[in-house]
Amino acid sequence: MMIFDQFPSRDEAEQFAAHVERRYKRSARVFDSQDDSNRVDPFPYRLEAPIVLVERNEDLSGEKKFHRVVLRFGGRFSGT
């Protein structure tokens, strides 16, 4: 999973997740806490909710575009 956090609000996180699903055909889920997101994909560093987990594809192609796209929604790329 690719992990994104620090969105200004849940609304921006949901808009980012919807954009990723619609435009890039990847599943994306929004979480309100790191405890919840860690149940799906544990991350060893502190995240700030809302958090969005985005599915990775097998060849990892095109992932850098998500690092730029998330900025439009006020979030940041935190890792994989």
Domains in the chain: boundaries: 1-39
Model confidence over 13-65: pLDDT tens digits? Answer: 999 999 999 998 999 999 999 999 999 999 999 999 999 999 988 776 678 88
Between 60 and 2, the more confident residue is 2
**Residue-level pLDDT at 35:** 97
**Residue-level pLDDT at 16:** 97
- CB within 8 Å of 44: residues ≥ 6 apart: none
Residue 73: C-alpha distances to residues 11, 38, 39, 40, 42 (Å):
9, 22, 24, 23, 23
Predicted TM-score (pTM) of the model is 0.93
